[in-house]
A = this chain, B = another copy of it.
Amino acid sequence: MDADTGSHERSPWLRKIHVKMTKPSLRDNTADADRLTRALEKGLQDKTVRIPYSLLSDIPRRLRELQYDCMVAVYEDFGSWKAIDLFAPDSKNLAHGVALDLGTSTLVMRIVEVETGRPVKEISFHNPQTQIGTDILSRIHYASDPEGLNKLQEMLIRKINQELSGLACTLGLKPDDILGLTVAGNTTMTHLFLGLDPYWICREPYIPVVNKPEPVTAADLGLNINPRAPVIALPNVGSYFGGDLIAGILASGMNHMDDICLLVDVGTNAEVVLGNRDWLMGCAGAAGPALEGGVASMGMMAGPGVIDKVRIDPQTGQVEYHTIDELPPVGICGSGLIDLVAQLFLAGMIDLRGKFVTAKCKDRLLEIDGIKHFIVVPADESAIAKPLTLSQPDIDSLIRSKAAMYTILTTITKTVDIDIRDVSKFFIAGTFGSYIDPRSAITIGMIPDLPLEKYVPLGNTSLEGATKVLISREAREECYEIRDKITYLELNVNQEFMNLFSAAKFIPHTDKSLFPSVKPDAP
């Protein structure tokens, strides 16, 4: 939860400022709004201050109630400051805002004390749009009817409002006390949040409605925070490179580093950014849901009872596993799956093509409808009264996904003529990145065989980046600089790509010299 930008300067673009005005008199009968503006401009280094129309009519009453002595919430907007609201000077003096990670399946929301940057409280919940479709494409299809688009936006906003009011309530905050919101999501989710039709996003040549959305107000979206609070959606580079990745770059700080770094966000799309302070190159490609555990028959998202770690004794073939919260096992998540396949390979129970080696698997192999299944957890140990098994197609699917990931990494480094071993940091974004064992990911040839210390799991970089933008003018400006700096590499699935892909469809790779550290333990 470290939201500090480290050594970089940070000044708030959203804040509360105390102003005490001289009361009106015949000697100074400046109008109320202009009196407030004058006092604010004095306190804000003579920058222009604007008062939105919706606040204007309330100002005379509020100023008189507060005796011309108040805290004013303001935010910076295109070089001037805009007033959001007036508060009593004895009100909670620090401005609160919300950073939102707008995931396709999960949303994470964090309340932050903006001036100090202190994260106050955090909550995560399912994206209610999964009722319409778990994947983005089905939501885009649903949104092609204006009523569908409205419904998708509404269900999202309603759910956010509901979770927000609970969160605010436990903190003793009123909706009006929440003065800003930043949101990082992929391009389609950002469109759905803003009520913009993503129709052209999935159609060649893949055109979003907007790359750099301007700040809107909470009232524009129906968000139940202060109606004049600015809502800032992080910009996207294109249909397949969204604000979540811009947030990732911000969170990693790679855009400030001298050495070349890699940032990988693993999901249905494998998203990769390569670069340093001088240049940034990004690409995204379909990896399939296998890396997230989304395809395997026993696969599921990380949660209580889900297997996240696996060890296999190469001598005995004995499977040991760890479940989240150490509950009886119910399934396996992406990181557990990668562990499992890596351990099966090291134990010689699958070969370099990922095929089960019957002689090694022995009685752990089952055949159902002609398809081989490996029993990971026998029925008597599992929480679902059935064995948890890994099938041959599950492994094939994972291998295709890991091969896609490795090929994308190879392609992007080849494009800029860099040896992947010269990458100084390999950042892994996402919750998945925090759980994954890089050793296992290397073993299956999903990521390159770099010294383990180069791998840096970053956790929820989408939330982290949104938080940085919320609390720092510099980060807010930086996200547009990053956006404009990125060269997006359109993955051209040509013969060369297919050759690289084919070579990567082995464990760890056809070219073993690329993975010198991977040595099967099997006798």
Residues of A within 8 A of B (CB): 24-26, 29-34, 48, 50-53, 56-57, 59-60, 78-80, 194-197, 199-200, 204-214, 216, 220, 236, 238-239, 490
Contacts and interface: CB of A to CB of B under 8 A. Distances in A.
Contacts of A59: 209-210
Contacts of A212: 34
Contacts of A195: 57
A46 to B, nearest CB: 15
Given A50-B214, A51-B214, A209 B26 contact: no
B209 A30 contact: no
Contacts of A51: 210, 214
Contacts of A208: 31-32
Given A26-B204, A195-B57, A196-B57, A209 B48 contact: no
Given A26-B490, A220-B53, A207 B60 contact: yes
22 contacts: A24-B205, A29-B206, A29-B238, A29-B239, A30-B211, A31-B208, A32-B200, A32-B207, A33-B209, A33-B211, A34-B212, A51-B210, A51-B214, A56-B196, A56-B210, A56-B213, A57-B197, A59-B210, A60-B199, A60-B200, A60-B209, A79-B79
Instruction: Rank and list the top 9 A-B pairs by shortest CB-CB distance, nearest first.
Output: A33-B210, A31-B208, A31-B211, A34-B211, A26-B205, A24-B207, A53-B216, A29-B205, A31-B210
Given A34-B210, A60-B197, A78 B205 contact: no
A209 B34 CA distance: 8
A53 B214 contact: yes
A382 to B, nearest CB: 48
B78 A207 contact: no
Nearest to A29: B205
Given A31-B210, A52-B214, A59-B209, 11 more contacts: A26-B490, A29-B205, A31-B208, A31-B236, A32-B210, A50-B78, A51-B210, A53-B216, A53-B220, A57-B209, A79-B79
A222 to B, nearest CB: 13
A57 to B, nearest CB: 5
A65 to B, nearest CB: 14
Nearest to A61: B197
A26 B204 CA distance: 7
Contacts of A30: 207, 211
A60 B195 CA distance: 13
Given A57-B195, A197-B60, A31 B207 contact: yes
A207 B33 CA distance: 10
Contacts of A199: 60
A48 B34 CA distance: 26
A200 B213 CA distance: 40
Contacts of A207: 24, 29-32, 60
A84 to B, nearest CB: 15
Nearest to A30: B211
A113 to B, nearest CB: 28
A40 to B, nearest CB: 14
A282 B79 CA distance: 34
Most chain B CB within a 10 A radius of its CB, from A50, A79, A208, A209:
A209
A26 to B, nearest CB: 5
Contacts of A78: 48, 50, 78-80
A282 to B, nearest CB: 14
A183 to B, nearest CB: 14
Contacts of A214: 50-53
A252 to B, nearest CB: 25
Contacts of A239: 29
A22 to B, nearest CB: 12
Given A53-B216, A195-B57, A216-B53, A25 B205 contact: yes
A206 B211 CA distance: 48
Contacts of A236: 31
A214 B80 CA distance: 13
